[in-house]
Every structure is written in structure tokens, then in C-alpha cells.
Structure 1
Amino acid sequence: MRISIPRSDQGTAKWRVGIGILSIFLFIVPQVHAKAMGDMDINDAIEDEFLLDSSIPENSIQINTSNGVATLEGTVENLLAKERATRIAETVRGVRSVVNSIDVAPAEPRTDTEVKTDVIQALVRDPATESWEIEPEVDNGAVTLTGQVDSWQEKQLAGTIAKGVRGVQSLKNDLTIDYTGTRTDREMQAEIQERLRWNVLVDDALIDVSVNDGAVTLDGIVGSAAEKRRAHMDAWVRGVDSVDASGLEIQAWAKNEDLRGDKYAEKSDTEIERAVEDALLYDPRVVSFNVSVEADHGAITLRGDVDNLKAKSSAEQTARNTVGVVQVDNRLTVTPLTVSDEAIETDVAQALIADPFVDRYKIDVNSTNGIVSLYGDVDNAYEKGQAEDVASRVNGVLFVENHLEVSDNDELYSYDPYVDDWLIDDYAWGDFDRTYSWQSDKQLKDEVEDQLFWSPFVNSDTIDVNVDDGEVHLTGTVDSYDEYRTATKNAFDAGAVIVDNDLAIQG
């Protein structure tokens, strides 16, 4: 619940809220800490998450956790892998912050001229950024971006695209934001509060938002470092000059359902439609298109035209992350600019060669009327998905038929909304089929319960786990579809052959 409080009364109000939180805290904390969360336990949990993630080279990162602060050291081959390691560590329960001291050492040296050329091509090739005026400079693998964009979200997207170029070792994002019009602090504060309220990835009940001359300050308590990052992202609404989220304290007990207020109370379809529409305005891949949103008891239908395949999938992800949404029927039509199949094949091939995750593979590309087919071999499901995502970001691509063969067919890759930029469930080949379990049913049950405990995004106390011949059966309650999906991911991560998720979503 969010209440606007006059600045002169905020001190008294915060004191009253603090007393309320303290009374709940005294009841909840003993339950939360029934299982130990020492630094070594947190260390092990982060290490397990790294082992489960195919994009992180095995044994390449050393972890040292002290008082909940995880320090990462080691070497990876690209900047995106380094940043991904931070986001993965932030999803572990008990992690208060992450210090990333990982070095980036590309597998093969590249000249600054080569890197600059590929950064320019990546920005031009991507339909979302092709018209933006951005100038990259490269000095010994360190990239600096200058120019002007219309929003903080556009600035971050440009940075992500540049980081995804082979040979980029660091990035300084000096893009400036040119807002149109002016807004009052009260307008910005109200919009930030609404964005937090409707984001399923943030429990906002204990977050206080203040804005002073365009400078946003977030104070209060969240349940994980990943939530803190998301809250910081949500605070960048139109007109904001800076965001300080250092006042957000991380406490595992903050995820307790008793502290969520009315966040998951039943919402009307009109409210849900408006919330999805508002969220799409801050999706830099979708904002320029006219997307129609229809809701029917939480089932969302997206209609309209977009000019690239990535915009279609991005709109669906944004809708899924909205409170009250239980299903998305994506009927957006991709109507790209006319590009010859020959040009599409060339652009997709160049994009794959420039991508640091899949550049070492020989991937054949064929385009027929904008339908792109990928052929070749990769090591794991993450790389297969990454190749498809890279192709979907190329102008002219209507659809991707992914025929890449994965050498480890029993290797699992599951979507994490706090970490991933694409949803494997959207891909035709994305359904996971593990053929056997390497654990006894009791061992698997213990592993699933352990995964649920270490996830800060589900309340393991409300979930019962039963296992029969490698099939995991989940019963109990969760508050959102996102928690439902996270519980399924946790079970597969633990080694389940099949997951029968009968969790009831109560809201």
C-alpha cells in the first residue's frame, strides 16, 4: 500500500510505520532464521547457482562472502558474462551486495578499430537503436559511448548492445538524456510508486520514495539484492536526474507474505490493462509502437504491429512482469522494413560472429522471406537461445527456426527474470526434457527444498514438496505467477525429471 505523505509529516509517519514493521519483525524473524544462513552457506549457494548457469565457465570465478557481501574474482571472456555473474549472485538469499572484481580477458585479442567497427554495426543493425545518434570510442578495449537519447532505458539498452560485442572489456556510458517537457517532483514520485506497486519482481510495501528537484531517494527494506536493483531501475521515470537506492536495506524476512500489503489483492481488468500499457512505455524496444492491451480475468492479449521480432518478445516479457497478469497471448504482428534475404543472412551471420557467447561456432544461416533458419552445433541450451536472440534483433527477421544441435541434451537452462534478457519458454524448442534423475527421491526432495529456501523470490514455508521416481510434485500457495514459475525453475535446477506444479496462486 502506498500513501502520499506531506514532507513535513514524513518523520512521524515513518516512525509509525517503523513500529508496525518492528511488531511484525518480532514475529517473523525467528521463523525465517530456522535454517542457518552463514557466509559459507551463502558462498555455497552462489557457487551452486554458477554451476547451474551455462554462460559462466566452470571454476572460473572465486567467491568470498563476508557478512552477506559477496566478492567475485576470476576471469571471464566477455563483459556480459561478468555482469551476469553479479546478477546471479544477487538472486541468492542472504546476499546484501556484490563486489565484482572479475577481469575480462577476451579469448582472442582484437584491435580497437575492429571493436569500434563492430560496436557501430551492432547499434546500426539493431532496430531499436539504428536511428540513435551514438558515437563510440575505444581505447585498449575500453568503450565510451557519447550522444543523446530520450530515456534512461534507452541509455541502458545502448550500453547492453555495446557490451555484447566481442572484445569489449569495459564500458563507460556517457550518453545524455534529453527529456521532453518538465515534471514536478510529486508527479515523478507518484509514478515511481505505481511502477513499484505493479512490478511482480519487487515487493514495494516497505519502500519509501522521495524526490527532490529530480533526484530520487529510495529508503526502506527489500528481500534481496536483485529486488534492490529492480527498484532502482523502476525509479528511472521520465524527468529523473539521479537515483540513490543506497538506503534500501536487504532483509530476508521482507519477502514474507504478511508484509506485502495489498500488492496481490484482486485487480480489475481495467487496472491491469492500464498497468501493462504504462510498463510498455518504459520498454525501449516497444515504446515507439502502438500496442493494444486487452485483459480478461488477468489473461492479457497483445495486438498491433511492431517492426522487429525482438520487440514482440520484449513486449510479452514486460507484460508477464506486471502484477495481476496470469497469461499472455501475444498476437503482435511483425511487419519489418523490406530487406532482402541475402542482406538478412549477411547481417545475422555478422551478428553471430560479433557475439562473444557464440562467436566460436560455425553457424549456418538461411533466410527465406524473412524466416531465418540456424544450423550447426553448440555446447549448451544457453548458447542455442543466445543465438536465436541475436538473430531476432536483426532488421528484416520475421521468425527464427532454430535447428542448432546441443551437445549436452540433458543440460538444463531455465529462465530467471532477474538475470535473463530473453525467455526460453518462448522458443519452440524451449520445453525441457530430462530423461533421468541421478539422485534418490529423498535426495531430490532435499535438493528442491534447499533451492526453494535459498531463493529470495518464493516463500518456501508455504510450499510442500513430494517426489516420486524423479517427478517433483509441488503443492501449497504462492502470491503471483512469477513465484509459481520460480518454484518450477527451482525444482528443475535441483534435478527434477518432471515438475508437476499444483501451487495455487492466491492474490
Structure 2
Amino acid sequence: MQRSDRVLKQVVAAFEHESHLKLHAHPVHLSFEDGALIVAGEVPDIASKKRLLQLTRMHSEGERLVDQLRVTANPPVADGELRTRICERLAQAVDFRNCVICARVKGQLELLRGTMDEAGNDGSGVIEVTVDDGVVTLTGQVISLSHKRLASVIAWWVGGCRDVVNLLELVPTEADGDDEITDVLHLVLETDPRVRAEQITINVENRTITLAGWVATEAERRQAEQDAWCLDASGGVVNHIQVRA
């Protein structure tokens, strides 16, 4: 058995042991190239993507990991439309009211709100959105880790997004930690209208998020977990939320 096949078998077995999802309907491929382990394929949601990446790291035998997993867009959305939707959603968000919002279109920068001269003002920043084959790249600068993570979550919330690459810089720099992750997840859940944040408790320890409390539907339970996985901040998500009709 080839090394990549052995690692893939271990990852798939671990994934299917802890998940309802069976990967035969969502082929995932692992390969070793130039000293890196490449994981590629399509999965149905962000939670599946992040969980697979986490398990792959655990079984990667120390190799560098290259993420080429994509979330299936159903229905697909054209890059231009997706870019417009994300820019509009960012512009509408209260937490980005002072940010310059712009898009990269065929190599050209298009300003949607503000001017580049305003990007360096106190309390301001700039977010540039690029979309290529459903993969969203965020560049520019923001004023806090919470703003950086919230930008990723907003991009994921827009239907049609297949992946988010968050390259936003922090000005000034800021220390990360469990308290920061807790604070931004509270903000995310309070912002998401599909979730009743007051009924969900959050505990973060060593970057692992544990959700508890109760919600009315299984869909709401899953949405809260999806929001936590969107943060690009966790060592994993444990969902202990209960459903009570």
C-alpha cells in the first residue's frame, strides 16, 4: 500500500467514525508531492472541510499539509456575482462601517465604498475581495483579530463560496488566545439570524471550542457548529448543543 493510500485510509476511517457523512459520495484524494501532503476534493460544508483537515494533520506523519479541499456550491454562483454579494454583505455589517470595501476585477481594483486615502485613518481599514472559481481571497488590513475572523465568516455565509483564504493583516498587531476566540464567536452567533445566541454557551480551551445549551431544531444546532468552524481559529469544535422541540 502506498503511503498516501495508508494515510487516506486512516483519515477516512477516523472521519466516518465521528461524523454522519460518508465520503464515498464526496471523493477526497491525498497525494505526496515535493515534501507536502496534498488533500483535495469536494465536501458538502465547512465543518466537513475543517474536520477532514484536522484529522489529516493528525495522521500526516509530520508532512506539510496543502489544502485543496473545496465546499460544494449548490447551486453554483458565478465569480462576479459572488464577489458582489460578499462586498455588499461586508459593507452592510456594522463592524465594518469604517472600512474601505473594494474588489479586484480582472486585475483592476474597484472601490465600492470609501477611498484608499481613508484606509489608514484611525478606526478604519481596507478589505479587498477577489474571487476565482468560487474561492474567495481577502486582503488588506483590519484593526483586530475579531474583525479578521468576522470577515471570513461573512464570506462563508454568502451562498456559493467554495473556500476562503484570509490574508488580512492586523494593524496594530494583537495577541491571540482562547478569550479572543470566545469573544468573536459570541459576536458571530449574535450576528447570525439563524441562531439564538442567548441559548448557546461557549467554552474555549487550548483553542478547542465546546458548544452547549439548547436550540429548537437540528438545523439551528448544525448552523451554530458551522459558524464555529468558520472562524479559522480553533483546534476543533465539540458540539454538545441539545435539540428541544
Bigger relative CO (Cα 8 Å, ≥ 6 apart): 2
Larger proportion of strand: 2
Check whether TM > 0.5: no
Normalising by the residue count of structure 1, what TM-score does the alignment of the two structures yield? 0.21
